[in-house]
Chain A
């Protein structure tokens, strides 16, 4: 239409109608955005702002006297100093869980996308089906599986992988396993979406050019699955780092993650400035990691 409009017309009347039409619908995209934007503003931006304010309240305030806004930036170093081990633990646990999930999830996604044939839909349902039960119930089920008197611990004791008094429940192992299990679908689904689009003829071409299977994976499959891989790892890593249910139910105080500390700061200790400062520190740390990761991985398709 634009090309047409630029053509000199003998009648002196350019094809103006389409331009007018465009003008009329110029606001439409914004109107379509409105519900989402309003939602974000009310339930994300404003609470975030309030949280930012709370993190700078005078830490000597209290519930009954109220908190004064004193721009107390000292809350941040104080909170970090008191709870840095929990930060380290959170990132370590979710990083280990991520590696485990990748080792399981990538072959799984690949198999579903490329090899499952008519079982594909069934397998996909199997990945998603656990989500129909609540997160809490699934984690509680792990308590039964890992129980000291359960079959798993019994088996591990019989093959001497665990000492006679060894246990899985209430150890870091249980927490990492719980994280891996609970967030695995978030990794598998985007990976599946990427791998499903993988053109098998490209692998055949690599084969024709004498690439070994490993090399073909490295040069064809992996790069093409990168968007899914990146989206999946982020969807896995971000909630896993902030999670507190797994540490609470499967771990002990020695496994508590930063989410547990924030929970206790807000609900039990009523130390709002510290809880807010910890929340922002967690957010900043995750944003920094994600930013570096995306720069390194360099993909435009995700953002």
Chain B
């Protein structure tokens, strides 16, 4: 056999050299990768507060979470009144659709100590807990928040992730409980009804938010979701697993359960109180149930992220929304639990029916059954979330 050596051409040499160089560079850059920790401290990410000179604030919130003018949906009366009163221009953006997605959106900036362009953002308890744990949130100046000091509901003052409410203030709160469509099924009273009653098989949904679904299950087992052990969590999870395996639970949902419940594709579900009230306006067969074993109480919290340039302005806005008259106007529109004491009296003037609604202004009996979910450290969060995701299928 004759072997021929291919003559080395200039092109061949160039290609070869370039190819090897690319390969080496790729491997080298991969080796140089790895990420730095996202942990920050507030002091390490301090920025100047420009509030005095720049009368403005960028406010990120969830869609349909603020009052709008009946005639012109682009007008937000309480925001407009704030602008008129203080001269602080508010850029209100509805860019939070999902806690996890929003986290992905701001994660790189906050982990790198860079400004997000937001002065105030509203996130649910557990996400607020994560961001506080990561040191991404600025401490609020209580002296600038007299209304919050005076009017915040006592049951929301002491949360596990922010014991003295130094970093977060509730925007609105809500309950996670049960809901059913009375056109399709009879009354549901307990979590066990939901998970085992044969006539509901395949017509039940639960929430894909671990803290809501697992909190209710922990309570149905007689455990306290604000203080539980891993064994108790596993117990509750096994109960959920049985309901999934038997085909009782049709699926795990976010907000999207509400249309299915309305149509009757699902008969009963774990649901958020605000959704159920809004459904109730168009369909009086939709009922919300506070199970005997207890409900979950959560809040979406206003927070000022690191490097936000207008903290004092943000504090002024937070304080403004804790004026009972303003809070009542907001609550009349969004229908979640109003975290402001005294707003109920103001609501009497706007809409006496809403003022009597226990899902907007809960009474003591209901609040005594409501619990928050235990604050988890990073390791626990990953462990519990992985176990839960396994059961719900992803």
Contact = CB atoms under 8 A, between A and B. Distances in A.
A264 B394 contact: yes
B37 interface: yes
Interface in A230-287: 249, 251-254, 256, 260-261, 263-264, 266-271
A61 B38 CA distance: 11
A165 interface: yes
Interface stretch (B24-32, B42-50, B227-235): B24-32
B265 A66 contact: no
Interface string B191-233: 0000000000011000000000000000000000000000000
A50 B133 CA distance: 26
Which among A67, A252, A254, A263 has the highest number of chain B CB atoms within 10 Å? A252
B271 to A, nearest CB: 18
Contacts of A68: 34
Interface string B358-385: 0000000000000000000011001001
A229 interface: no
Contacts of A49: 26, 29-30
Interface string B140-152: 0000000000000
B251 interface: yes
Contact of B100 (A52, A251, A267): A267
A147 interface: yes
Contacts of B101: 267
A252 B35 CA distance: 35
Contacts of B100: 267-268
A11 B152 CA distance: 101
Contacts of B14: none
Nearest to B392: A253
Given A50-B33, A64-B378, A253-B393, A169 B386 contact: no
Contacts of B394: 253, 256, 260-261, 263-264, 268
Interface residues of B, number: 42
A202 B297 CA distance: 73
B61 to A, nearest CB: 20
Contacts, number: 101
A251 B251 contact: yes
B211 to A, nearest CB: 12
A63 B379 CA distance: 10
Contact of B265 (A148, A254, A264): A148
Nearest to A256: B393
A49 B30 CA distance: 7
A267 B254 CA distance: 14
B153 interface: no
Contacts of A62: 378-379, 382
Of the four ranges (under 10, 10 to 19, 20 to 34, 35 or more), the interface on chain A belongs to 35 or more
A170 B256 CA distance: 14
B134 A63 contact: yes
B389 A167 contact: no
A146 B392 CA distance: 23
Interface string A52-75: 111011000111111111010000
A266 B202 CA distance: 29
A269 B386 contact: yes
Contacts of A56: 30
Contacts of A253: 244, 251-252, 391-394
B250 interface: yes
Given A271-B382, A271-B386, A65 B392 contact: no
Nearest to B201: A165
B104 interface: yes
A9 interface: no
B263 interface: yes
B385 A268 contact: yes
Contacts of A147: 263, 265
Given A50-B33, A62-B378, A69-B31, A149 B265 contact: yes
A53 B33 contact: yes
Contacts of B37: 63-66
A89 B26 CA distance: 34
A66 B38 contact: yes
A254 B202 contact: no
B39 interface: yes
Interface string B74-88: 000000000000000
Contacts of B36: 66
B115 interface: no
A64 B40 CA distance: 8
Nearest to A258: B394
Interface string A64-95: 11111101000000000000000000000000
B117 interface: no
A65 B39 contact: yes
B202 A67 contact: no
A67 B35 contact: yes
B342 interface: no
A254 B393 contact: yes
Given A64-B378, A268-B389, A148 B264 contact: yes
A252 B104 contact: no
Contact of B38 (A63, A169, A251, A267): A63
A170 B32 CA distance: 45
Interface in A7-39: none
Contacts of A270: 382
Contacts of A169: 265
A57 B265 contact: no
Contacts of A254: 244, 393
A252 B251 contact: yes
Interface of B: 26, 29-39, 100-101, 103-104, 111, 133-134, 202-203, 244, 249-252, 256, 259-260, 263-265, 378-379, 382, 385-386, 389, 391-394
7 contacts: A64-B39, A66-B37, A69-B33, A71-B31, A252-B251, A264-B389, A268-B394
Given A65-B39, A253-B394, 4 more contacts: A53-B29, A252-B250, A253-B251, A254-B244
Q: Which 5 A-B pairs have the closest CB atoms?
A: A253-B393, A53-B33, A69-B34, A66-B37, A264-B394
Interface of A: 49-50, 52-54, 56-57, 61-69, 71, 143, 147-149, 165, 167, 169-170, 249, 251-254, 256, 260-261, 263-264, 266-271
